[in-house]
Amino acid sequence: MGKEIPSRSEDYSLWYNELVKKADLAEHSDVRGCMVIKPYGYSIWEKMQAALDKMFKDTGHLNAYFPLFVPKSMFEAEEKNAEGFAKECAIVTHYRLKTDPENPGKLIVDPEAKLEEELVVRPTSEAIIWNTYKKWIQSYRDLPLLINQWANVVRWEMRTRLFLRTAEFLWQEGHTAHASSAEAVQETLQMLDVYADFAEQFMAMPVIKGKKSEGERFPGAIDTYCIEAMMQDGKALQAGTSHFLGQNFAKAFDVKFANKEGKLDYVWGTSWGVSTRLMGALIMAHSDDEGLVLPPKLAPIHVVIVPIFRSEDELNMVTDEVNKILKTLRQQGWTVKFDNRDTQKPGYKFAEWELKGVPVRIAIGPRDLANGTVEVARRDTKEKQVMNLADVGTGIPKLLDQIQENIFQKALKFRTEMITKVDSYDDFKRILDEKTGFVLAHWDGTPETEAAIKEETKATIRCIPLTADGESGECVYTGKPSAQRVLFARAY
Amino acid sequence: MGKEIPSRSEDYSLWYNELVKKADLAEHSDVRGCMVIKPYGYSIWEKMQAALDKMFKDTGHLNAYFPLFVPKSMFEAEEKNAEGFAKECAIVTHYRLKTDPENPGKLIVDPEAKLEEELVVRPTSEAIIWNTYKKWIQSYRDLPLLINQWANVVRWEMRTRLFLRTAEFLWQEGHTAHASSAEAVQETLQMLDVYADFAEQFMAMPVIKGKKSEGERFPGAIDTYCIEAMMQDGKALQAGTSHFLGQNFAKAFDVKFANKEGKLDYVWGTSWGVSTRLMGALIMAHSDDEGLVLPPKLAPIHVVIVPIFRSEDELNMVTDEVNKILKTLRQQGWTVKFDNRDTQKPGYKFAEWELKGVPVRIAIGPRDLANGTVEVARRDTKEKQVMNLADVGTGIPKLLDQIQENIFQKALKFRTEMITKVDSYDDFKRILDEKTGFVLAHWDGTPETEAAIKEETKATIRCIPLTADGESGECVYTGKPSAQRVLFARAY
């Protein structure tokens, strides 16, 4: 069909890039580092947004919108945060173009329209939001303040990859304020759970919840928690983060509240986000050499029906039956596509919808009509079955449930196999090179050891898992004591 | 309650500003020209988005996402468009900050991180999108291409007003490509109809559909169509525009397609948009001196229930009954708020929910319980009625329908009264000053007359109505012949 992609074993990286392009998910734009999210890719993102937005609202959060621009002086108020993002900020310095006197029809930046203070295009919104919270919070009655924003952000990147690393990306960022440290920590962990539930229940992607080491912490946070997923090439991918900010931003922006006793104190904060990076994770977690494999809960099209026909008469006969199936399934809320193009053969259509990851394909021709059956193919296992026409209304929804569950179990089995406990640095390096995946190893807790291991192996501490087995031991690198194993991997 | 707003007759402009702030819709940020959309305001915008998004999808459009930044050379490709927006563009010139060697803890723009080519923060996305369409369109089979984007855009403004005119605003922009001029014109008019339907059926705001004069056309368009609404102070407000772009952008970005005969031709385009400006229109069209009046279809809260009680026992009794009402109405899909705060008196709550425009208020106390009734107050007319508890499940939905219809009819009656036909320039000026509103007058069709009238009266041609009465006459300003009356007004 002219849309073949390389196999994963051949070149995993090229497989990913080609799949993203050929399945019409996204492409590089002519704007350095920025992507275009194509309609099919965007419709998956919309499904992610809808599910997440509901989860945020169910946990009491409201959406709002804050400015794209942050004045430099506001941006630098929380020093660690500013320092962490300074190197990747797009900066607006002027507010007008004018015609170039030397090149009619061309424009130049008007030097007279220079801003008094430069504006940073938000790489994240803590600064602008905490600057606003100062006006919104006076008393404990104003707390907790539970707000989320869906927005675009910009972090200048030299090396970009579609969805995984782009200069502009789409995300949501939650920003909450609380009356106590305990409450803020609870919120941080609650949102980590929301992310983990979303990843596992909607994306069918198992994740490990943990805390970041100091070196991998969000700039300005006291603690950063994350969910880590395993891709099919044995590399880890950070799929979401939730930060306990302590009173850092409250102090930087002077956000105080009067508690029940009337005493003034700084507010406690959290922030948490997931982005279009999840699209990359979804693709890499499940897809195969034929194309996308989408979990039904995020698939823009659940079922595609391909008619088998040689004449217009045959197509008409088949169409009558297809219309009944469409009605039955659409009434149940499924999105069903009837691909009745007469410009392409069935084999071409099969390959195209496999590439696009539609979970279930129904093929139906005159012989099926005579037998009162259809041929049903599932995308995940590529198994085919003959289903009675009368059973389609119950059989297809059941199959979609099974596919959702199977994709998760398959990914979970793989992920479980890809966690290796090691007790020596030699094993550590060998596993990383030969088997790849997560390596569970003891670490002495120092940034120096973390940095040395990263330097020598390119593996980073993905997280300190929340569900520790309590097993103490000795650091694989220094032999110094370690309270628990941490999760290492090479990562996206 | 400390949240009173000035009356409309006292100071309409101040009334608007205070209402927007006190009803928690939006506020000015500390970033010049940019607003913060607060959760209550944003939840109305979310309702608008959901309704519009469904209408776009029902007419075959898909969402996608294109970059925030447009390189200057791409921006200037369509000269008229570039010229039209050049004076209000935010320009990114650098991609990094660094620590200020002279002020530790402060940041400065890193002069070494100057972009080779400046980036324009999109004021609208025709340039970046048509630059992309070049890659997507080869043949008539790729057409029509029907795409919408929900995004933020930036147009530098010196004088800003919340929702009505801000440097950054949220909007949707449709960008379509077609194989023929006729098809593109049809799309332009279809989307104008979608906007008009949305304005009338959801916002309960009557609009007049028309074509813009040449002077008010979108830069780069062949024709601009618009919907125009009348605010309570007699000023017009442009609520949405739909542009027929002809082949202008296709030529600027070299977007050609092979037609069925295999001949190459430039593609025909449209673009259309509505923005958070609609929030301003919604507020000004219906609200009164007590606060917001929201049509039920866009109200974040449909019904508020205020318990009347003197003791905890009474509150408990009332709560039992309220729980039944909540269950009944919520099962029907209505959003119902039970305001059981014990820190505020009923009168305070009544005023607060009136300010916030909740369409229906139910009050219920021990006496109501004894009678098996509740007191129901509607926000639009402020009428109260006693309703049997048993009737709440049918009576409240019926009342909400009536409110939606009444708000529209009231606005329609006002709008109709505010259209005045005039046949002399003296009458023209007198009506504009004394009665205000729309003035239907003959115009000779020249930009010179339009400009002179604008200069002398501050009134602009809002549109050339699509439903002309075919009555020819003489221009009120020059006496020259005119084919039809056009709609003048002072406008937001």
Residuewise pLDDT in 10s, chain A (492 residues): 456 899 999 999 999 999 999 999 999 999 999 999 999 999 999 999 999 999 999 999 999 999 999 999 999 999 999 999 999 999 999 999 999 999 988 999 999 999 999 999 999 999 999 999 999 999 999 999 999 999 999 999 888 999 999 999 999 999 999 999 999 999 999 999 999 999 999 999 999 999 999 999 999 999 999 999 999 999 999 999 999 999 999 999 999 999 999 999 999 999 999 999 999 999 999 999 999 999 999 999 999 999 999 999 999 999 999 999 999 999 999 999 999 999 999 999 999 999 999 999 999 999 999 999 999 999 999 999 999 999 999 999 999 999 999 999 999 999 999 999 999 999 999 999 999 999 999 999 999 999 999 999 999 999 999 987 778 999 999 999 999 999 999 999
Asked if the C-beta of B344 comes within 8 angstroms of chain A's C-beta atoms, the answer is no
Q: For residue A63, which residues of chain B lie inside 8 Å, CB to CB?
A: 39, 42-43, 46
Q: What pLDDT shows up at residue B4?
A: 82
Beta bridge partners of A486: A441
Running DSSP on this structure, what letter comes out for residue B164? T
A99/B86 Cβ within 8 A: yes
* Alpha-carbon B184 to chain mean position: 24
Q: What's the CA gap between B175 and B384, in Å, rounded?
A: 47
| CB spacing of A91 vs B89 below 8 angstroms | no
Distance CA B300, CA B335 (A): 7
CA atoms within 13 A on the CB side of B119: 27
- Report the alpha-carbon angle B317-B323-B324, nearest 5: 105
- Which of A84, A23, A454 minimizes the C-alpha distance to A280? A23
- Token pair, residue A115, equals 């801003």
| 3-state class percentages of chain B: helix first, strand second, coil last, to nearest 5 | 40, 30, 35
Kindly give, in sequence order, each residue whose CB lies less than 8 Å from that of residue A264, ignoring residues fewer than 6 positions away.
A256, A257, A258
The pLDDT of residue A1:
46
Displacement of CA A465 from its chain's centroid (Å) = 20
The pair of structure tokens assigned to B365 is 């106390």
Identify whether the C-beta of residue B354 lies closer than 8 Å to the C-beta of residue B316. Answer: no
Task: Write out chain B residues lying below 8 Å of A29, CB-based.
Answer: 66-67, 128, 132
- pLDDT for the residue B3: 64
Residue for token digits 């956000």? Answer: A255
Show Cβ contacts of residue B374 under 8 Å, excluding neighbours closer than 6 positions: B325, B362, B363, B364, B368, B386, B387, B389, B392
Q: CB atoms < 10 A from the CB of B148, how many?
A: 24
User: What does the alpha-carbon distance between residue A282 and residue A271 come to, in Å, rounded to a whole number?
Assistant: 23
Strands, DSSP E only, in B276-338? 303-307, 336-338
Q: What angle do CA A53, A272, B97 make, to 5 degrees?
A: 125
Angle between helices B277-286 and B39-58 (to 10 degrees): 110
- Which of B30, B76, B128 lies nearest to residue A31, judging by beta carbons? B128
pTM for the full model?
0.97
| Structural tokens at position A289 | 């050499």
Query: Using CB atoms and an 8 Å cut-off, which of residues 96-135 of chain A contact chain B?
Result: 96-99, 105-107, 109, 118-121, 128, 131-132, 135
* Closest Cβ opposite residue B106 in set A34, A76, A119: A76
Listed residue (A300, A123, A275) closest to A195, CA to CA: A275
Task: Tell me, yes or no, if B31 comes closer than 8 A to chain A by beta carbon.
Answer: yes
Sign of the CA dihedral running B394, B288, B237, B166: negative
Q: What separation in angstroms does the CA of A197 have from each of A59, A207, A248, A411? A: 13, 9, 29, 15
What's residue A180's pLDDT? 98
**And the tokens for B392?**
């709440």
C-alpha span between B462 and B229 (Å, rounded): 10
Chain A with chain B: Cβ pairs closer than 8 A? 190
Residue A69 CA to residue A71 CA, distance in Å, equals 7
How many angstroms separate the CA of residue B450 from the nearest CA in chain A? Answer: 26
In angstroms, the CA A241 to CA B390 distance is 49
Could you tell me if A377 and A384 are in contact, meaning their C-beta atoms sit under 8 angstroms apart?
yes
To which residue do tokens 């009342």 refer? B399
Query: In this structure, are residues B51 and B404 in contact, taking their beta carbons and an 8 Å threshold?
Result: no
Rounded distance between C-alpha atoms, residue B33 and residue B43, angstroms: 22
Q: Which two tokens stand for residue A315?
A: 């197509």
Dihedral sign (CA A57, A39, B152, A161): positive
User: Where is A412: in which H helix or E strand?
Assistant: helix A392-417
AA letter at A407: I
Reported as type and span, the H/E element at residue A224 is strand A223-230
CA distance B332 to B326: 10
Answer whether A31 sits within 8 Å of B98, measured CB to CB. Answer: no
CB B78 within 8 A of CB B249: yes
Structure tokens at B55: 């209408």
| Spatial CA neighbour of B221 closest among B234, B229, B211 | B211
As a whole number of angstroms, the distance between CA B342 and CA B338 comes to 12
3-state secondary structure of B398: helix
> Cis omega before residue A481 (within 30°)?
no
DSSP symbols for A294-350: --GGG-S-SEEEEE--SSHHHHHHHHHHHHHHHHHHHHTT--EEE---SSS-HHHHH
Question: Which residue among A30, A67, A89 sits closest to B34, beta carbon to beta carbon?
Answer: A67
**ipTM reported for the complex, 2 dp:** 0.97
- According to DSSP, the residues that pair with A418 across neighbouring strands are none
Query: Is some CB atom of chain B closer than 8 A to the CB atom of A392?
Result: no
Q: Which amino acid is at A37?
A: I
Would you state the structure tokens that stand for residue B35, as one six-digit string?
């607003």
Q: Does A419 touch chain B (CB under 8 A)?
A: no
CA distance A459 to A470: 23
3 state DSSP class of B199: helix
* β-strand pairing of A268-275 with A168-178: antiparallel
Residue B252 forms contact with A (CB below 8 Å): no
Give the side-chain half-sphere CA count within 13 A for A225: 27
* Set of chain A residues whose Cβ sits within 8 Å of the Cβ of B36: 64-67, 132
pLDDT at B1: 46
Residues of chain A with C-beta less than 8 angstroms from the C-beta of B74: 30-31
Segments in chain B below pLDDT 50:
1
φ, ψ (nearest 5 deg) of residue B195: -65, -45
Q: Considering Cα of A342, then A344, then A347, then A351, what sign does the dihedral take? A: negative
CA distance between the termini of chain A: 31
Q: What's the full length of chain A, in residues?
A: 492
Q: Which of B29, B118, B169, B279 to mutate to test the interface with A (most CBs of A within 10 A)?
A: B29
Hey, which residues does A229 pair with through a beta bridge? A237
Nearest chain A residue to B129, by CA: A36
In this structure, what token pair is assigned to residue B258? 């092979």
Look at residues B177, B138, B185 and name the one whose alpha carbon lies nearest to residue B268.
B177
Q: Quickly count helices (H) and strands (E) in chain A.
A: 14, 27
Contacts of B37 in chain A (CB under 8 A): 64-65
Task: Please give the Cα distance from B186 to A279 (Å, whole number).
Answer: 36
CB contact under 8 A, A94 and B96: no
Enumerate domains of chain A plus CATH numbers: 12-286 (3.30.930.10), 296-403 (3.40.50.800), 419-489 (3.30.110.30)
Q: Give me the sign of the Cα torsion angle A336, A340, A341, A344.
A: positive
A254 Rama class: left (phi>0) / alpha (psi -120 to 50) / beta? left
- Rounded Cα distance between A250 and A271, Å, is 13
* Residues 6+ positions from B462 with CB-CB distance below 8 Å: B208, B210, B226, B228, B236, B238, B438, B487, B488, B489, B491
